[in-house]
Chains A and B, each alone.
Chain A
Amino acid sequence: MPEHPSGIQGGAGDVVLMVGTTKGAFLLRTDPSRQGWVMDGPHFPGEEVFALSLDQRGGRTTLWAAPGNPFFGGSLRRSDDLGATWSAGEDLPIRFPEESGLSLKRIWQIQPGRTSEPDRIFLGVEPSCLFESHDDGNSWSPVEGFMNHPHRPRWEPGAGGLCLHTIVPHVSDPARMLVAFSTGGVYGTEDGGVTWSPRNRGVRAEFLPDKHPEFGQCVHKVVNHPDEPDRLYLQNHWGLYRSDDWAGSWRDIANGVPSDFGFGMAVHPGDPDTVYIVPLEADTFRCTPEAKLRVYRTRNGGDSWEPLTRGLPQKDAYETVLRDGLCTDTADPAGVYFGTRSGKLYASRDAGDSWSLVREGLPPVVCVEAAVLA
């Protein structure tokens, strides 16, 4: 077994990368120049870590991780010293009520709530459900309106399981939130989670006889920008979309990409018009098209996309970036990061114009999160 990791020591302005893999989590830190990275890990060696998050609301620095095991289920851990020590909350483990008939398999997403609600945190889990905490993660409960949704018997698992992988709280309206899960699609609430309705108008379900059902789409990721909260971008299981009315309707924006299949999606921290994706060839061949590792960027809200290749291999690169494997930081110029199933970690410190290989030889990367320390 590896030596016990000691965590990362960082100061204000340092950038932290949190990398979840199928064999543990790794933490990387760099100074504001972002030119060299120090790595610490693996944390939770041997366990899969599909979700990581750094919560800096309300003056705290809490690192959340969701280590798990396909046989023994998922768990949640927190660290208030950047990974030097980890602990469980007071009311763990996370679990469904017995009468629900549901059993937790994996935690897919850890989403801190709005800045105005610093003790509120959300979890997206498999089987698809939303959990929430109102006390900084000390106790958790499923959102009953979603858990007991009448559509649940008709939701079908995708290749990754029936997973709720995306949580988008509205930045200013606490009653509004969107979630996305595979398969089921996008659902939204306007009443703080009491009721939920599908928000998939215009999104294809290529794998179903009815290509435009009310729900059942296999949405892979949804992102937005706090300055334009009602504008959303969606990477679908076939399809790239944009909504300008908080998921009331979607329109195709796959303008000039080699494939509209893919998983990861990230928005530029300072520009709601700039979005990043990593197209994959097809659902039957989930590798980068033409064996070229290319991030695609739009700077006009999806009207056109440009390939970003400088520093990325353009030959024999059969790579896969998963739904949480692509992210941005909040520095200026923006940092963009992604990890691959082949264990490579790439970074750009110029908003995607050029890239460098940060690490290789990691276990398969399933999530990458970045944060600038306050």
Chain B
Amino acid sequence: MARKTSKRPAAKTAKKPAVTAAKKVAHKQTRDTGNLPALGRMMLWVDRPGSANKIFWGLAVLCGVLFLLDFTYEKHGHFDVEHLPGFFGIYGFVMFTGLILAAKTLRIFIKRPEDYYGDKAIDREVYPEDQLDKVKYNA
């Protein structure tokens, strides 16, 4: 249950460049990156301090460009709203945010503990070990 309490801040660090947490992650990585698959090592960039920031602002710039692109060509949509510059962008942003907020509200009403249907339900069971092949990467 200790995991549960650490969940929120931990999930945030990946995107939010909370410097100390990111540094800790980076430090941990320096210890165990040696044997990582080459492709995995290349992707480590995403967890470097500041990378999340770069990704976020890069995305913001991309959105800006896409918005401006709307002025450069003639649209041929079926509805009038489609001709508004940036319609799809704004619609996407607003509806996505709305969706997340609505889902968060929905969770208040329908969330139940994992053992709600008893300990024999699949949500509580451990997946049978003999059907798995749990191997560590450096094994």
Asked if A pairs with B, the answer is: no
Report which A residues bind B (CB closer than 8 A): none
Report which B residues bind A (CB closer than 8 A): none
